[in-house]
Amino acid sequence: MLRFTLILCFLFSPLLVSAQTITGIASVTDGDSLEIRGTRIRLHGIDAPESRQLCTRASGQDWRCGQQAALALSDQIGRRSVSCVTRDIDRYGRTIAVCSHDGVDLNAWMVREGWAVAYRRYSRDYVAVEDDARRAGRNIWSGTFVMPWDWRRGARNP
């Protein structure tokens, strides 16, 4: 009986993970990650520039777009409660979630404001929002930048 129970738990654990909601005051780690009560959360379907990543304005001036993305998310959240609906757990043990506060989807907001891109490798949820931000030339789209996944692999110059 114990073996049967363990098998059922294993089979249905993805369903349990996807239904979990984490709510509380969030601290921003970077433009696509936060922490709530000790739980590290990666925002589902988006990728923001890394904290040390630079972007280049149309004028040719470099700017700390990764740092600015994290600050934008932090300013958007403030000290309000954030609610994150779990989608998955990544290979680093982080919760992958769609987070919101006051009815605002923070994942979509980051992409819409041009602080993050749609992470097509994992989701197509925010592609249309990214297209709008790109057309409007918002923030990272106002000049040139290396996609965050390429920057992490070592491609540092836009």
Do the Cβ atoms of 47 and 148 come closer than 8 Å?
yes
Query: CATH no. for residue 37?
Result: 2.40.50.90
**pLDDT > 70 fraction of the chain, expressed in percent and rounded:** 86
Ramachandran angles phi, psi of 30, nearest 5°: -160, -170
Residue 153 lies in a domain: no
Q: Is pLDDT at 7 greater than 50 in this prediction? A: no
**pLDDT > 90 fraction of the chain, expressed in percent and rounded:** 85
Write down the mean pLDDT value for the chain.
90
Residue 31 belongs to domain spanning = 15-115+123-142
Write down the pLDDT at residue 155: 73
Write down the pLDDT at residue 19: 60
Write down the pLDDT at residue 15: 45
Structurally, the chain folds into a number of domains equal to 1
User: Tokens 């709510």 sit at which residue?
Assistant: 23
Do the Cβ atoms of 106 and 77 come closer than 8 Å?
yes
The burial class, CB within 10 Å (0-12 / 13-18 / 19+), for 67 is: middle
Residue 57 lies in a domain: yes
pLDDT tens column, 15-33: 444 469 999 999 999 999 9
Residue 41 lies in a domain: yes
More confident residue, 8 or 121: 121
pLDDT tens column, 28-86: 999 999 999 999 999 999 999 999 999 999 999 999 999 999 999 999 999 999 999 99
Mean pLDDT of 84-91: 97
How is residue 122 written in tokens? 């994992």
Residue 6 lies in a domain: no
Distance CA 109, CA 14 (A): 27
Write down the pLDDT at residue 156: 67
Mean pLDDT of 110-125: 97
Write down the pLDDT at residue 3: 57
Write down the pLDDT at residue 16: 46
Give the pTM: 0.86
Query: In the chain, what's the furthest Cα-to-Cα distance?
Result: 68
